Chains A and B, each alone.
Chain A
Amino acid sequence: MMLDSVLLEILRNKVTSVTEEMGITLQRTGRTLYVKETADFGTALADLNGKFFAWPLDIGVSGFVDLDCGPTISAVGELSAGDVIITNHPYASGGLCTHTPDLNLVRPYFYEDHIVSYGWTFVHSADVGGKVPSSVSPTNSEAYQEGLLIPPMKIVRKGNFNEDLITLYRHNVRTPDLNIGDIKAMLAALDVGQTRITEIIEQYGLDVFLATQEALINYAAAKARTAFRQIPDGAYEFWDYLDDDAFTQIPVRVRLRMEVNDGLIHLDYTGSDPQTMGPFNVVTMGRSHPWVTLRLLSYVISQDPTCPVNSGVFRNVTVDLPHGSVLNPEFPAASGIRMAAGVRSYDAVNGALSKALPDFMPAAPGGNSIPVVLVEPLNGGQQSVTVVQFLVGGLGARKGHDGVDGRDPSFSNMANNPIETIEAEASVLVLDYGVRADSGGPGEWRGGAGQKIKFKVLLDGCQLLARGLERLRFPPWGAAGGRSSTVTRFILNEGLVSERDLGKIDMVSLDAGDTVTAYLSGAGGYGDPFSRDPASVRKDVILGFVTASGAEKDYGVVIKVGEVDESATETLRAGRTSPRPVDFDYGEEREAWESVFDDERMVALNRALVGHAPAQRQRIRKTIFGSIDERLLVPATEKRHDFRDLIGDGDEIAVSFDQLLSAIPDAAT
């Protein structure tokens, strides 16, 4: 049946509020740290194909709209009323679980004898077993190390809890009570969905409810198509890098070719690097997936805030995610820190859109969403785990607007932790927490500044975790002549003799008196900073977002006693000698790297590896880069070599790379 537009709007309100009520229930009763501190949970309603037609407004994670419950549903076979499916298996769930700690539940909603839709919910559990507490570590290389793998199966059968499964689960995780508490909270949320859906069907009829699902998806698809038609037809190429794969210094590249044709988008990631040894892989199974499409959703909503948030937006999107790549790894590649590659894919889409719509899109955001976690010893060998702070950069500048400082809702619009709460819960003293001066990318419009935090540990025997840390080497890029921002740094005991750059953090041991200082990269600037209105630069200096020396160096503006020195500024700006990138500024280390390892060479390398088994590809690459310079094989968790020093003039390296490339054996041999 066709729904009239009035009924559609009425039911859109209703089904959205069902997902919100589910989310509220989960939020209030969930137990794990991640519900509380990082809003890392979700609730939604899926249609009979397993695609979401209703999504809550601002409760839980915002980014997972493009997940697909379909493969999970078909994996379990026939479903009865009162069944609930559970899974945390990234591969067996067809990419529904984006890493093992995300416990996903799917419940068929019945009306009379028929399935009429599905309720979905997930929670990031505190721990699902595996090699390390919290299950995720940058040094994991196989899914088996990332905890108990639960393929799609029934945790509730016709209303009866599967006690065997729960017992098995309980014995395989480090925090069984919290986890079981979370499962109860998720089941309660799913109950709310069934109740409300029954009410809606009784008021409007089953036909209307079924038609609503399709109509809402069509509605979002049509609106998104209109927004996508704002993008000129054509192909736009853009790439961005993970700093490294944790095991070496070698960057991991996400390469995108975005093809736009009359509002239809094709994201072709051919040429992206092979799956990584470390857990930075996004398990997509080759299908459209939130970690590669999220920026398209934010683009659509920015163009048209009235577009419903549901899977219809992605009906206009096709993807090509090469098998064995970091965006479509083969089992059992680890995926615990899939966010790192997901965030770079987000930036790549942002960059491709910037090429198409330079006046609309912002420069790169800060590019980090990092929970800084402190593990403290308790009496009796137990540990307490606290999120000291959730750190982000800022938002990218865009034409006519500076980026927002110290906030970045790109991946999760979550609240930070008050200093007083941190100090009440963890053995730390927060000495400094705020916005990092001079960290926003300079531009006619300044990129948002990143955050900084400095805290002192008050107890011996603590450990610090900061998973997924990026932008230590390659800064968020500037656009339209705007400059890149400063890079991220984590420093132990800054200003003391024991000062040490922590680089990429796996796990750092800390004792009482140690301090940790984190400086997050800001976001990219937009437009030539030497064209920025000196009055705006002055204001930034007065407010403290830019220092006086930063104003001179980055903007060519001289501030004396709080005022713009106009003649000095004019002289300084006129005498500018530094190169002025006309479009994107990627920072010096990326320029150094790409002076040898350019697009052509790296595409050729990945093409030469295609015939080899996915797990082999990284090994061959490692051999090649190791032969060029052994320093490239130093684990990034130990030390970071600056590419400007390492590459030098690059000629010699280029020659040896080309020789090694031509010597790659065929897979058959």
Chain B
Amino acid sequence: MRVLANDSARLGIDVGGTFTDFVLADPRSNQLITHKEPSTPDDPSLAVEQGLACLLDQSALSPENIGLVVHGTTLGLNTILQQRGVETALIVSRGNKDLLELGRCRMPSPYNFLAPRSEPLVSRDRVLEISARNTVDGAVIDEPSTREFDDLAEAIRLTNVTSVAVTLINSYVDPTLELAVAAEIAKRLPDVHVTPSTRVWPEIREYERAMLAVMNAYIHPLLDSYYRRLEERLRGLGLKADLYITASNGGTLSIQSARERPVDTLLSGPASGVVAACALSSNVGHDDLVAIDMGGTSCDMSVTRGNQPMLTTSAKLGDFPIISPVIDVSAIGAGGGSIVWLDSENILKVGPGSAGADPGPVAYGRGGDQPTVTDCFVATGLIGPQSFLGGRMTLDRSGAMGALAVLGAGLSFHDADCAEQVADSALRVTTAMMAAQLYKELAQRGVDPRGRYLIAFGGAGPTMAVPLAEEAKLGGVLIPLSPGTLCAFGAIQSRVRRDFVRSVRHILDSSDSIVEEIEKKLTAMESEALEWVSKEGDGLSQPIITRRADMRYAGQAYNLEVGLPDFAGERASAAIAESFHLAHSLAYGFPDRESTVEVINLRVSVVRNLPEFETPGIERATGDAVATGSREIFLNGATCSASVYERSTLRAGHQIVGPTIIEQPDTTVWIPDHWTGYVRDCGTLQLDRVILG
């Protein structure tokens, strides 16, 4: 591997469903170049190659000048959501054949008997049992004979699968037997990929652990060949830089690690957006943010704390659980394509149906005939029909108005401005819906919204940001310089990171033996972590290790993850328990020192930073910002006149007073009355409520 210099250029690439985004940061020329290339779903690496060629043309750099490439992709995610992975089998302990069939037994709705559950990724006839099992103490009580391994291999061969996952009951206690089963299969079927669950995530709960292994097996051959092709294409363009892949936990992995365990990269796209939010926020002094990424079909929200993304161990991909730590992203409310409609009682509804990208909103003129949130933006004047996508696409405003006006009668709007009235109403409903869901999500995370800043990106995020911040009582709003390519920007900000877990079950009593046991396990986990990270590349910082533990009061349903104190010395057990009492008190308002504390999981994370790197900023303003014009906006039942600016003309230090529209090729920013905007040195636009009096 090559040593990365501080001043060498860095390239971030994010492959999405519609566009492949590029950000090239060159510290030597203080330049940040962005580019969007239409994605090529049949071979996503093709768009990478084409876009990169285009990008290099725009810059003065040659391929050798690029010292680092960090890549994110939703390929794995989409493969699972669309169930297009490779044919996969699952090997389980005898008596556990219905592991996937039952899952955790829940249905999407307790009332609606028409609502179906999602199909398992592996059909029941491809879940094969073997006489192999541990007890909860790790003892082996069932072990297959050579003959049974032969029979199993033959059974797998007959299913014609290309990939196999293995999950044995209680393998999290001691993985030896599970690894032996995996090895025996691999020995007999060299062409089949094998993922043992404990190699991915050795945590208690067989279904959740199995699903990580199954998803890994399900996407492994596809991503392996994709990453190989990608590497070939980049080398073909003359790039010599190390290639990293962004991971679901907000970190990055070397391409080798990503190829070995692609399940770690499932949420690589959304994770990078939040990482970018953190990087930008540190430049403007806000460490605790709410981030929203509002695009065409959905809006994702997440939270940062102490300038780090908040992670979760209870994420879902559709109906499938992910229990390894990933960025805590939740869908709230609507996207630009969400459909506005009236139900049978003439109640105005927004979503959950979406016009998506095709046919898209009525205003796109591609055959959409149901009004959407984007049509409301157009009808109210928030989005200018001529300036959409930097003028590359003219919107059909009268079409949007016509579709919205159809709903007017049902809402008792009969005047000439009934389309505007409907649009205004629908945006109020959208705002309230998003704020209500945001509140709930923040409550789940134990986060108080008051005073926090909202960082908004995605095509529709900056348009909805201020109304949402008002409704949810957030402190203010931040709009990045390029909200449309933020994920690619986030990719080059991330650090090498991997998480490790061991499930234990220790009651914290006063004995030293428990603490010794905990220390022994943590030390083993740290060795594993250091061994792994030592191969992740040269030029990285010294490894930073964090130790945490999931704890709870005996009898509680939920664990709290708590940072572990240094526990040398006598009262180590009490010190660990005390760290939990404090955490419980902070989260729920009271400690319960009478209760026994249990340690459920031990967690270790290892991080190595990339060399320091300064984000290129923008020029200082020399005079006032100049509006390019003005237009009428109809909101909250009244019309006002808003100035219109172009984002590209704004310089650091510029101050703007609402009502104002700021247009840029990837989005439109709305600053209402009683709000002001200020351009920070890094180019980020900070919006604040005007304090009256």
Interface residues of A (CB under 8 A from B): 4-6, 8-11, 13-14, 16-17, 20-21, 24-25, 27-33, 35-37, 58, 62-63, 177-178, 181, 184, 188, 219, 222-223, 226, 297-298, 300-302, 304-306, 309, 362, 390, 392, 395-396, 398, 404-407, 409-410, 412-416, 418-421, 423-424, 429-435, 451, 454, 542-545
Contacts and interface: CB of A to CB of B under 8 A. Distances in A.
B652 interface: no
Contact of B110 (A33, A62, A421, A424): A62
A420 B98 contact: no
A14 B429 CA distance: 11
Interface stretch (B223-231, B266-274, B438-446): B438-446
B123 interface: yes
B626 to A, nearest CB: 38
Given A405-B101, A409-B107, A542-B125, A5 B555 contact: no
Given A28-B588, A36-B555, A420 B170 contact: yes
B498 to A, nearest CB: 24
A142 to B, nearest CB: 30
Contact of B206 (A11, A390, A418, A435): A418
Interface string B263-281: 0000000000000000000
Interface string B110-128: 1111111100000111000
A14 B109 contact: no
A6 B429 contact: yes
Contacts of B98: 406, 433-435
Contacts of B123: 543
B589 A188 contact: yes
Contacts of B436: 13-14, 16-17
Contacts of B105: 390, 392, 406-407, 414-416
B348 interface: yes
Given A298-B111, A305-B112, A406-B98, A424 B440 contact: no
**Most chain A CB atoms below 10 A, which of B106, B170, B349, B595:** B106
Given A13-B437, A21-B440, 6 more contacts: A14-B432, A302-B112, A404-B116, A414-B106, A434-B96, A454-B95
Given A21-B440, A36-B557, A9 B349 contact: yes
Nearest to A418: B205
A420 to B, nearest CB: 5
Contacts of B169: 419-420, 423, 430
B102 A451 contact: yes
A10 B437 CA distance: 12
B555 A418 contact: no
A544 B347 contact: no
Contacts of A219: 345, 347
A166 to B, nearest CB: 16
B358 interface: no
Nearest to B590: A184
B406 to A, nearest CB: 16
Interface in B100-153: 101-102, 104-107, 109-117, 123-125, 135-136, 141
Contact of B558 (A6, A28, A62, A430): A28
Contacts of B553: 31
Contacts of A435: 98, 101-102
Nearest to B432: A10
A487 B36 CA distance: 62
Nearest to A13: B436
Given A188-B589, A424-B136, A544-B125, A5 B112 contact: no
B207 interface: yes
Interface of B: 95-98, 101-102, 104-107, 109-117, 123-125, 135-136, 141, 169-170, 172, 204-208, 343-349, 411-412, 425, 428-429, 432-433, 436-437, 439-440, 443-444, 505, 553, 555-558, 587-590, 592, 594-595
A631 to B, nearest CB: 38
A3 B555 CA distance: 46
Given A5-B411, A63-B110, A420 B343 contact: no
A301 B204 contact: no
A137 B224 CA distance: 58
A223 B114 CA distance: 18
24 contacts: A5-B411, A6-B411, A8-B347, A9-B429, A9-B433, A13-B432, A13-B437, A14-B432, A177-B594, A178-B555, A298-B111, A305-B112, A305-B115, A395-B113, A407-B105, A413-B106, A413-B107, A413-B109, A418-B208, A424-B505, A431-B95, A435-B101, A454-B95, A542-B125
A178 B555 CA distance: 8
B111 A17 contact: no
| A-B interface, 10 closest residue pairs, ranked by CB to CB distance from nearest | A434-B98, A36-B557, A62-B110, A301-B111, A10-B432, A432-B95, A413-B110, A13-B436, A17-B436, A415-B104
Contacts of A300: 111
A126 to B, nearest CB: 9
A9 B348 contact: yes
A21 B104 contact: no
Contact of A24 (B141, B348, B437, B444): B444
A307 B258 CA distance: 46
A435 to B, nearest CB: 5
Contact of A434 (B97, B114, B349, B437): B97
A17 B206 contact: no
A500 B164 CA distance: 40
Interface SS, B side:
loop
Contacts of A543: 123-125
A424 B102 contact: no
B113 A362 contact: yes
A419 B348 CA distance: 46
B409 to A, nearest CB: 12
Contacts of B433: 9-10, 13
B85 to A, nearest CB: 19
A395 B141 CA distance: 36
Nearest to B341: A306
Contacts of B97: 434, 544
Contacts of B347: 5, 8-9, 219
B95 A420 contact: no
Contacts of A33: 555
Contacts of A16: 436
Nearest to A410: B110
Contacts of B587: 28
A302 B95 contact: no
B425 A6 contact: yes
A24 B440 contact: yes
A323 B124 CA distance: 50
Nearest to A431: B95
A48 B107 CA distance: 33
A223 B344 contact: yes
Contacts of A305: 109, 112, 115
Contacts of A306: 343, 349
B429 A226 contact: no
A433 B96 CA distance: 6
A223 B206 contact: no
Contacts of A223: 343-345
Given A421-B205, A424-B136, A412 B114 contact: no
Given A6-B425, A13-B432, A416 B439 contact: no
Most buried by B among A6, A9, A420: A420
A33 B98 CA distance: 26
Given A9-B347, A434-B98, A17 B107 contact: no
- Most central of B107, B116, B170 by chain A CB within 10 Å: B107
Nearest to A222: B345
Given A29-B588, A544-B125, A10 B429 contact: yes
Contacts of B204: 418, 420-421, 424
B16 to A, nearest CB: 29
Contacts of A62: 110-111
A13 B135 CA distance: 47
Interface centre among A5, A11, A31, A184 (most CB of B within 10 A): A5
B174 to A, nearest CB: 13
